[in-house]
Amino acid sequence: MKRMAIVLAAGQGKRMKSKLYKVLHPVCGKPMVGHVVDTVKQVNCERSIVIVGHGAEAVQSYLGEAAEYVLQEQQLGTGHAVKQAKALLGSEEGSTIVICGDTPLVTAETLQGLTQLHESNNAAATVLVAYTDQPQGYGRVIRSEDGSVLRIVEQKDCTPEEDAVREINTGTYVFDNAKLFAALEKVTNNNVQQEYYLTDVIGILVGEGETVLGYVTDDYAESIGVNDRRALSEAEGLMRERINIRHMLNGVTIIDPASTYIGADVTIGADSVIYPGTVLKGKTVIGEDCVIGPQSDISDSVIGDGVTIKHSVLDQAEVGSRTSVGPYAYLRPKSKLGEDVKIGDFVEVKNATIDNGSKVSHLSYVGDATVGKNVNVGCGAITVNYDGYNKFMTEIEDDAFIGSNVNLVAPVKVGKGAYVVAGSTITQSVPENDLAIARKRQENKPGYAEKIRSKAKAKKESKQQV
């Protein structure tokens, strides 16, 4: 049976008190609407229609070709919102999931169970429901004696008896597509809010003798709709716990989950260890047998197997297997390290490739450069890549040795096996196996240090007398 999805993402979200459109607020590094669209795709929805309103361009810019879009120019209720998709889906046959774009905690497993129950019973509609001792703010699910769903009553329209019901509507449904759009034509706005409720479709279908079922989620968190910053924080904590558990069950050791942040799209290999204070974001991929942290911040980077990273920041970097980084290193975008590389303390790398077996052990900057195999870059050495207007490349070939406090003024090339003496400022290329030295020969002036001290002392005493 064909499956489709309608994602409701047109609300302004005034309670967020933010310039950012509500469904674009991130939960564990991914905008809420991104979580929802990815989830419906996991249950084989062939088409995803996102209903947009406020902030439509921003939502479309983020999701791109992952969905189709319909504009709800006036926000007149959930039923009105779903009806906007009629031009795209009205003639389709199959099952249609309707879900809110601010419910990032709904899982693919739950949606799969929901749709399977719906389709196996040939139901007209199936509602995702949950039980809670604090149902305030949610629509109540009213069932018949045989357990089928009779209607859903919004909080503001509840009688005292209905208000006491603890079974709530999560706002996620599956409908027979043709019956959904037929029933929407009969929905009115005769209610306290004067809105067209999608929940009224349930009562209409029941009145026509159709089967309406309820599917109970075991995880109340899936009912959470994020409407303000407090709910956003709650969703963030629940999602982070869920992500950490998934990684641990897959063979990753997380020393202190409470102090570890892992984004929704991060991949980690088995037998890797994540120490406290570590933040892993974006599309980061970490291999097996790695040791990450403590206090490391890694974004959109690819890390090989057996890598150690301590107290360091990586942004859009690539690190080969068995390489060590840190403590206190910074790999900026387009940094690419080979295998068995050592990047030590207070080293910064930017737009540079450092090949297998090379070392930049401490207090150095390598930017806009290519470094070959088995190169040693000494303490305090830098590539001087910027003249105030343009960036230039430095090339260091295999087996070269760069001494401490060397300045390589780009564009410049150090040949294979060449040796650059400590303290040199190199402005011309160094041929293969040559030794380069660019500093004045040392001269010692006997007793001159004492003359300098005496002169300074006399100057200070003169100022004090004045």
**Do 96 and 175 form a contact (C-beta atoms < 8 A)?**
yes
CA dihedral 149, 150, 155, 159 (to 10 degrees): -140
Residue 41, SS3 per DSSP: helix
Q: Is the link from the previous residue into 294 a cis peptide, with omega within 30 of 0?
A: yes
DSSP 361-412: EES-EEEEEEE-TT-EE-TT-EEE-B-SS-B--EEE-TT-EE-TT-EEESSE
Strands 324-325 and 342-345, bridge-based pairing: parallel
CATH for 252-436 is 2.160.10.10
Distances (CA, A) of 236 to 31, 143, 164, 223: 11, 33, 30, 14
Q: Is residue 250 a known part of a binding site?
A: no
Q: Is residue 386 a known part of a binding site?
A: yes
35 is catalytic: no
**Do 426 and 414 form a contact (C-beta atoms < 8 A)?**
yes
Residues paired with residue 394 on neighbouring β-strands, in sequence order = 369, 412
Amino acid code (one letter) for 464: Q
Q: Is residue 196 a known part of a binding site?
A: no
Contacts of 325 (CB under 8 A, 6+ apart): 307, 308, 309, 310, 312, 314, 319, 331, 337, 343
Distances (CA, A) of 19 to 12, 14, 16, 55, 249: 10, 10, 9, 10, 38
Q: Is residue 77 a known part of a binding site?
A: yes
Taking alpha carbons only, the member of 315, 330, 320 closest to residue 357 is 320
Four-residue CA torsion sign, 242, 244, 247, 248: negative
- Claim: this prediction has a pTM higher than 0.85: yes
Q: Is residue 169 a known part of a binding site?
A: yes
Q: Is residue 404 a known part of a binding site?
A: yes
One digit per residue, the tens of pLDDT, for the chain of length 466 reads 899 999 999 988 889 999 999 999 999 999 999 999 999 999 999 999 999 997 899 999 999 999 999 999 988 999 999 999 999 999 999 999 999 999 999 999 999 999 999 999 999 999 999 999 988 888 899 998 888 899 898 888 889 999 999 999 999 999 999 999 999 999 999 877 888 999 899 999 999 999 999 999 989 899 999 999 999 999 999 999 999 999 999 999 999 999 999 999 999 999 999 999 999 999 999 999 999 999 999 999 999 999 999 999 999 999 999 999 999 999 999 999 999 999 999 999 999 999 999 999 999 999 999 999 999 999 999 999 999 999 999 999 999 999 999 999 999 999 999 999 999 999 999 999 999 999 888 899 999 999 989 998 888 888 777 6
**Do 12 and 53 form a contact (C-beta atoms < 8 A)?**
yes
Q: What pLDDT is stored for residue 466 in this prediction?
A: 67
Q: Is residue 78 a known part of a binding site?
A: yes
Q: Is residue 365 a known part of a binding site?
A: yes
Q: Between 32-42 and 108-120, two packed helices, what is the crossing angle to 10 degrees? A: 50
Q: Is residue 385 a known part of a binding site?
A: yes
* 3-223 CATH, one of 2.60.40.1930, 3.20.190.10, 3.90.550.10, 3.30.70.3270: 3.90.550.10
Beta-carbon neighbour count of residue 318 at 10 Å?
17
How far is residue 38's CA from residue 208's CA, in Å, rounded to a whole number?
34
Q: Is residue 227 a known part of a binding site?
A: yes
Q: Of residues 25, 35, 247, 362, which has the active-site annotation?
A: 362
Residue with the two structure tokens 């990032």: 104
For 155, which DSSP code? G
Residue 438 φ then ψ, to 5°: -135, 70
Residue 74 φ then ψ, to 5°: -115, 135
How far is residue 36's CA from residue 111's CA, in Å, rounded to a whole number?
11
Domain boundaries, the chain: 3-223, 252-436
Q: What pLDDT is stored for residue 320 in this prediction?
A: 98
Distances (CA, A) of 68 to 46, 52, 87: 11, 10, 12
Taking alpha carbons only, the member of 404, 398, 438 closest to residue 418 is 398
